Amino acid sequence: MLDHLGLERVAVIGRSYGGAIAVHLTRAVPERVEALVLLDPAMGLSPGDMLRAAEECRADETFPDVATAGADRAICWAGISDELVQAELAEHLVPDGDRWRYRYCPPAVVTAWGEMARPARTPPAGMPTLLIPAIRSAFVHPRWVWECRQELGDALIVAELDAGHMIFLEYTAEMADLIRPFLGR
């Protein structure tokens, strides 16, 4: 993709499973990544927990109406504004006969849960990395943060936010205030 776009080096930002992908990309081609931002990355998670999550995702969940889907999302996203929940529904909820479902690929989601159960890797030594864990989430293990500190030293900045896993929706402005100076923009 970078070659196709004519980009030599880029900053990479990843959240949740995207954080795990960002770390693996950075380890594979560190010369192409100038800085790494990890927003509550999900990796090195309990294989048993990930198997249960994958099993739950195998059946395509549907809802009788948009209001029921919205109520379910509001519970899952406690603390997220109704405006953002409604934007999520408008973007990703689609009709399925006489019911509604989220537009996603269940086999891809099952695969992602399995990938998040792989042992966590740290970014490569010397890679400027901003790690923003959500402290009300269980995705970032303290042991992995310690391993990152050992591997990255002064190249690592950790800025915890009192948020759930939907950190980017709860604290959009605060995250931007952390990311912008880190990336020098």
Cβ atoms of 181 and 32 within 8 Å: the answer is no
Single out the residue of 15, 10, 19, 7 nearest to residue 183, CA to CA: 10
Instruction: Give CA–CA dist 171/174, Å, rounded.
Output: 5
Task: Quote the mean pLDDT of the chain.
Answer: 93
Using CA of residue 79, residue 81, residue 85, residue 88, what is the dihedral sign?
Answer: negative
Q: Please give the pLDDT value at position 157.
A: 98
What is the predicted pLDDT for the residue at 151?
97
What is the pTM assigned to this prediction?
A: 0.88
In the chain, which segments carry CATH 3.40.50.1820? Answer: 2-44+118-183
SS (H, E, C) 59-98: CCCEECCHHHHHHHHHHHCCCCCHHHHHHHHHHHEEEECC
Q: Which of 48, 8, 11, 46 is nearest to 123 (CA)?
A: 11
- How much is the pLDDT for 24? 96
CATH 3.40.50.1820 corresponds to the domain 2-44+118-183: yes
Under-70 pLDDT residues of the chain: 185
Predicted pLDDT at 60: 75
